[in-house]
Amino acid sequence: MKVFKTKMEGVLLIRLDVFKDLRGEYVETYNEELYNKNGINIKFIQDDISVSRRNVLRGIHGDNITWKLISCLYGEFYLVVVNCDSGSSEFGKWQSFTLSANNRFQVLVPPKYGNGHLVLSDTAIFHYKQSTYYDSSRQFTYQWNDLRLNIHWPIKNPILSKRDELGRYV
């Protein structure tokens, strides 16, 4: 695996090794020892998957204590990571990544950062590991088109949940 710093403090882009032969591919999506050797010393305790169809946009969601390791198991999506720390001089800064089953990238998202994704393929499977158990009472949500963030999304009318449309729990 290769680990790359991004333009955002604490956000890492990880390229997994893919072993191919005549049978297909083999990818190790997580190995604690290997991640520790690469300076990623985070204990992950929960895994989650969402399956969505083309033009579904989920997020911007996060909390102040959870690390997330995000990958695409099937299909392709446009991932946006946003600094949501209102006390940071970098508040509102964002970066986008395209994750797919073909490129095998992962993105490590620190606490106080939110993430959202737009499905680009007919179907996509979004996978993430978390360093804490999910607790909706800790979550923050920003609207996908929040003017303060000025995020570029490659869509004008995505399919949204009420939470994502309003930028809050309903």
pLDDT digits (tens, 9 = 90+) for 41-69: 999 999 999 999 999 999 899 999 999 99
What's the sign of the alpha-carbon dihedral 11, 134, 170, 157? positive
Catalytic residue among 35, 113, 128, 142: 128
Q: Global pTM?
A: 0.95
Catalytic residue among 61, 74, 113, 127: 61
What integer pLDDT is reported at residue 169 of this predicted model?
63
Whether 117 is catalytic is: no
The whole-number average pLDDT for the span 68-79 is 98
What integer pLDDT is reported at residue 167 of this predicted model?
82
Kindly tell me if the per-residue pLDDT of 170 is higher than 70: no
Degrees, nearest 5: CA angle 48-142-58: 40
What integer pLDDT is reported at residue 168 of this predicted model?
75
Using pLDDT thresholds of 50, 70 and 90, give the confidence band for residue 125: very high
Interatomic CA distance for residues 33 and 163, integer angstroms: 37
Express as a percent the part of the chain with pLDDT over 90: 96
Kindly tell me if the per-residue pLDDT of 35 is higher than 70: yes
The whole-number average pLDDT for the span 72-80 is 98
Domain locations along the chain: 2-166
Whether 128 is catalytic is: yes
SS3 content of the chain, % helix, strand, coil (to 5): 10, 45, 45
In the chain, the amino acid numbered 63 is D
Distance separating the N- and C-terminal Cα atoms of the chain? 40
Average pLDDT of every residue of the chain:
96
**CATH class of the domain defined by 2-166:** mainly beta
